[in-house]
Structure 1
Amino acid sequence: MSNLFWLSAAQMRRIEPCFPVSHGVPRVDDRRVISGIIFVIRNGLRWRDAPKDYGPHKTIYNRFVRWSRLGVFNRIFAELAAKGGRSERLMIDATHLKAHRTAASLLKKGLFPRRIGRTKGGLNSKLHVVCDGQGRPLVMLLSEGQMSDYKGAALMFDAIPDAGTMLADKGYDADWFRTALKQRGIVPCIPSRSNRRMPVGYDPTVYRLRHKIENMFGRLKDWRPIHTRYDRCAHTFMSAICIAATVIFWL
């Protein structure tokens, strides 16, 4: 197939340090299997429909699940994003990801939570993201759909890198968030909620740049398994998001 996806040798050299050490029998070709994982996720295929060029589909699936449990794909994303350099402007926002009926179960089974919640729009998950001034994701968090924006910001706050300005919409208009940003030397550019008695000023010219994080969400959701969640396990779904973000923005 002429439209197959293959990681280049240079791309493999960038991500190989994050791979687990192989013990005993050598692993199947990493480039072939990882390229197959990316192809399946990017095109929203069933694992059994993976092209034969990538090898047995069970090998691709087993590698994806095993490395997801080890946090390998999350680590690849985090390390490449950390090498992106300091950005003077950050943006923070969140988006809902609809849970398909194959994944939409509120019953908690197993050690880890599913990260699926109930909102007026049905069962869904929520992706919280901090990105740089170019709209490239730096920090990501998966939560239940009903979690508020500023609660997600509180969970990610320690991981937010230093910057000059933070852009956010009205959902992040909280006094504690503004104060915490200022204590770190970050100027908040956040419009006030309509019910705030004393509106807080912001720079509308700078705020117009916030469309870049919305564009980032749109590019992530071009990958069908990201737009609609099919994975029952949160760790595999988050791994798929990290793979998409890495391939689109950091490789």
Structure 2
Amino acid sequence: MADLFWLSEAQMRRIEPYFPLSHGMPRMEDRRVLSGIVFVIRNGLRWRDAPADYGPPKTIYNRFLHWSRLGVFSGIFAELAGKGPRLEPLMIDATHLKAHRTAASLLEKGLLPRRIGRTEGGLNSNRHAVCDGRGRPQIMLLSEGQMSDFKCVALMIDTLPRAKTLLGDRGYDADWFRQALSDRGITPCIPSMTNRRVQIPHDAVLYRQRHRIEIMFGRLKDLRRILTRKDRCAHTFMSAIALAATVIFWL
């Protein structure tokens, strides 16, 4: 197939230090297997439909599942994003990801939450992200589709990178959130809700840069296995998002 995806040698050198050590028999070439994982995520394929150029589909799936459980892909994303340059301003937003019937079939079973919720649009998950000034994700969180943005941002606020300004839409207009940002030395650039008695001014020119986080969501949704969630487990779906974000924005 002419449209196969391959990680470059330079990209592999950047992420190899975060791979688990191989024990026992040597494992299949990391570059070959990881390229196959990205190809499946990009094209929304079943694992069994991975091209033979990447090796046995069972090997590709097992590597993805095992490393997802170990947190390898999320760890790579966190390390590379954390070492990136601090570019102003920060931006925060969220987007819905529709759950495929294969992901929602075991909604009520299992010990771990699947992060799939029911909204007017059906079963879906909600992905929250904080980006830098170039629209590169630095913090990501997965929640149920019906969970409010305020509950999720409360989980993320302690991990916010240092910055002077944070851009957000009026859905983040809350007094406690503005105060929490101010306590961290961050100036909120958030339009006021229409029902506020006293409107809080914001920098309208600076606010126009918020389109970059929307572009980031769009680029990730170009990968069909992220646009429509097919993974039942939250950790595997989040690993797919973390791997895609790493390849697109940090390699």
State the TM bucket, normalised to the shorter chain.
over 0.9
Where structure 2 has 5 or more consecutive residues not aligned to the other structure, the ranges are none
Deviation of the 1:147 alpha carbon: 1.1
Matched position secondary structure for 2:138: strand
Given the superposition, is the C-alpha separation of residues 94 and 106 from structure 1 closer, same or farther in structure 2, using an over 3 Å criterion? farther
Q: Distance in 1 between matches of 2:101 and 2:64?
A: 22
Q: Deviations over 1:165-195 (max 9, x none)?
A: 1000011001111011111111100001111
Match of 2:237 in 1: 237
The answer to whether structure 1 residue 188 and structure 2 residue 188 are counterparts is yes
Please tell me whether the aligned partners of residues 105 and 116 of structure 1 are also in contact (alpha carbons under 8 angstroms): no
1:211 match:
211
Question: How far has the Cα of 1:106 moved from its partner?
Answer: 6.7
Q: 1:133 offset after TM fit, Å?
A: 0.5
Contact 1:125 1:144 (C-alpha < 8 Å) held by counterparts? yes
Q: What's 1:50 paired with?
A: 50
CA distance in 2, matches of 1:10, 1:208: 35
TM-score, normalising length from structure 1? Answer: 0.97
Question: What is the CA–CA distance in structure 1 between the aligned matches of 2:144 and 2:77, rounded to whole Å?
Answer: 22
Quote the Cα distance in structure 1 between the aligned partners of 2:52 and 2:194. Answer: 56
Contact 1:96 1:127 in 2 (8 A): yes
Unpaired runs of 5+ residues, structure 1, are none
Say if 2:106 and 2:232, in contact at 8 Å, map to a contact too. Answer: no
The residue identity in structure 1 corresponding to 2:47 is: W
The answer for the alignment partner of 1:35 in structure 2 is: 35
Matching residue of 2:83: 83
Do the aligned residues in 1 keep the contact of 2:107 with 2:116 (CA within 8 Å)?
no
Q: Which amino acid aligns with 1:72?
A: V
2:114 maps to which residue?
A: 114
Give the corresponding residue for 1:159.
159
The aligned counterpart of 2:128 is 128
Q: Residues of 1 paired with 2:135 and 2:180: CA distance?
A: 23
Count how many residue pairs are aligned between Structure 1 and Structure 2: 251
Q: Give the partner amino acid of 1:3.
A: D
Distance 1:109 1:160 in 2: 33
Contact 2:130 2:138 survives alignment (8 Å):
yes
Task: Work out whether residues 106 and 116 of structure 1, in 8 Å CA contact, stay in contact via their aligned partners in 2.
Answer: no
% same residue: 75
Note the alpha carbon deviations across 1:58-101, whole angstroms, 9 max, x for none.
Answer: 00000001111111100111111111111221000000001111
TM-score w.r.t. the length of structure 2 is 0.97
Closer, same or farther: CA 46–107 of 1 in aligned 2, 3 Å: closer
| 1:99-152 Cα deviation digits (max 9, x unpaired) | 111112473333310000111111110000000000000000000001111221
Amino acid at match of 2:109: K
Partner of 1:65 in structure 2?
65
- What is the alpha-carbon root mean square deviation over aligned residues? 1.1
Paired AA for residue 187 in structure 2: V
Which stretches of structure 1, 4 residues or more, deviate above 3 A after TM superposition? Answer: 105-108
The answer on whether the counterparts of 1:167 and 1:188 sit within 8 Å (CA) in structure 2 is: yes
**How far is the alpha carbon of 1:33 from its aligned partner?**
0.5
SS in 2 for 1:93: strand
Q: Secondary structure at the match of 1:197?
A: coil
Question: Which residue identity is paired with 1:67?
Answer: W
Secondary structure at the residue paired with 1:97? strand
CA contact (8 A) 2:102 2:231 kept: yes
Paired residue type of 1:120:
E
* Cα distance in 2 between the residues matched to 1:37 and 1:96: 23
Give the distance between the partners of 1:106 and 1:38, measured in 2 at CA.
25
Q: How does 1:6-21 map to 2 (within 5 A)?
A: 6-21=6-21
